[in-house]
Amino acid sequence: MKIELNKKICQPTFLDPADGHTRKELLFEVRTDPLTGHRSRILRFRRRKLPEVKIPTEMLEASRASCPFCPEQIFSSTPHFVPDIAPEGRMNRGSAWLFPNSFPYALHNWVVVLSVDHFLHLDQFSVELLRDGFLIAQEGIVRLKEADPSMGYASINWNYLPQSGGGLFHPHLQVVVEEQATFFHEKVMDGLRRYRKENGSDYWQDYLSEELERGERYIGNRGNVHFITAFSPRGILGEVVILFQDRMGVEELGEGDWTQFLEGLTGIFHYLLKKYTFSFNLSLFFEPTKDARSWVYGRLCPRMILPPWNTSDINYFEKLHGEVICVVSPEELCAELKPYF
């Protein structure tokens, strides 16, 4: 089934004071996501080369002194699970530790501390280190679902650095598991159900086939894990959609799937470093598949603060109108990312 990818070209005009108030026209695009209806405004003329930003050493040292995830404090400062989920209190794999969030904002909200190091640059995250973190998160989700099958909707999430909303420098993931999907994930589920009812086929497979055929936004793959720049991105610097082909739930992911995903993810990290973009949001979504038939999927959005005043990259258009201003076209982002695959 062919998927329609609709965009509208807009051409505002003004009299430019920098050129004797001559008439000027600028083009931008309004794009609509075919699954959820989400809209993005692609303003390529707003893209600027970012300066290199370094975290002050004194800031890192000050944050280390009170960090609850560092080895000196992790066992005295972090909670235990209730015995029904993890009788050992905290779950461990390699250098990764999983335990409940001290300040939960979901019925089951957990933290995965990824390393003993208080801070890691993007090029210091190895596939092996990350794999332990995602595998222990997966194990916790599977244990909970076995103990309470009503907890069907799960996600693994990562805010890296303060630009993304991260509250601590120490690298960590967050896990959310509840009986109801979060708002955006429910929009995806609704779209998948509607698409299957109207077309008799599965959206993710048709979407992957469409993007492979077009070749404009398909970055590449590692085995059965595919990376595509989103047609209607959810971030100012674009968005990468991650599809775990034919993996229908968290229980179906093996160590090889995680390795393939993380090989692609670390490739994206090296691209971000090259572009002086050091922060991102990442979410992986898992859900019941009885009616929506969803593959496991993920979304990654690079984050930034705008120089020279460290302005937030989220403004009223995104926060209050629900539409994203994006300064890089998905096709351009795809072309820039391909060499890292």
* Percent of residues, the chain, with pLDDT higher than 90: 86
Residue-wise pLDDT for 97-126, tens only, equals 999 999 999 999 999 999 999 999 999 999
Amino acid at 113: V
202 has a pLDDT exceeding 80: yes
Residues 27 and 166 in one domain: no
104 is written with which tokens? 């939960």
Per-residue pLDDT, 309: 80
Average pLDDT over every residue of 201-210: 96
122 is written with which tokens? 């993007």
Instruction: Give the number of other CB atoms < 10 A from CB of residue 339.
Output: 12
The parent domain of residue 281 ranges over 7-52+182-340
Does the residue 296 lie in any domain?
yes
Residues 118 and 213 in one domain: no
Which of 130, 157, 178 lies at the terminal end of a domain, its last residue? 178
Residues 327 and 201 in one domain: yes
Nearest to 154 by CA among 221, 86, 253, 255: 253
271 is written with which tokens? 């691209």
Amino acid at 286: F
Which of 162, 178, 194 lies at the terminal end of a domain, its last residue? 178
Per-residue pLDDT, 68: 97
Average pLDDT over every residue of 256-284: 96
In contact, 285 and 295? CB cutoff 8 Å: no
Does the residue 301 lie in any domain?
yes
Average pLDDT over every residue of 144-148: 93
Residue with tokens 């404009």: 216
Pairing between strand 172-178 and 153-160?
A: antiparallel
Residues 330 and 286 in one domain: yes
Residue with tokens 């890691």: 120
Does the residue 326 lie in any domain?
yes
- The whole-model pTM stands at 0.95
Residue-wise pLDDT for 16-42, tens only, equals 998 899 999 999 999 999 999 999 999
Average pLDDT over every residue of 165-185: 95
In contact, 264 and 340? CB cutoff 8 Å: no
281 has a pLDDT exceeding 90: yes
Residues 80 and 25 in one domain: no
Residues 278 and 218 in one domain: yes
Does the residue 2 lie in any domain?
no
Task: Return the CATH number at 188.
Answer: 3.30.428.10
Residue 252 is given by DSSP the state G
Residues 209 and 334 in one domain: yes
172 is written with which tokens? 């960590």
Torsion of CA 193, 199, 201, 207, to 10 degrees: -90
Which of 178, 211, 242 lies at the terminal end of a domain, its last residue? 178
Residue-wise pLDDT for 42-52, tens only, equals 998 777 777 77
Does the residue 1 lie in any domain?
no
Does the residue 151 lie in any domain?
yes
Average pLDDT over every residue of 56-81: 94
21: left (phi over 0), alpha (psi -120 to 50) or beta: left
Instruction: Give the number of other CB atoms < 10 A from CB of residue 21.
Output: 10
- Residue 327 Cα distances to 44, 184, 293, angstroms: 5, 22, 33
Residue 160 CA to residue 137 CA, distance in Å, equals 17
251 is written with which tokens? 């229980």
How many domains are there within the chain?
A: 2
Residues 172 and 201 in one domain: no
Residues 259 and 328 in one domain: yes
Residues 95 and 235 in one domain: no
In contact, 266 and 288? CB cutoff 8 Å: no
Residues 164 and 192 in one domain: no
pLDDT band per the 50, 70, 90 thresholds, residue 201: very high
Residues 305 and 204 in one domain: yes
The average confidence (pLDDT) of the chain is 94
290 has a pLDDT exceeding 80: no
Residue with tokens 């629900």: 322
241 has a pLDDT exceeding 70: yes
Average pLDDT over every residue of 74-89: 95
Average pLDDT over every residue of 46-59: 80
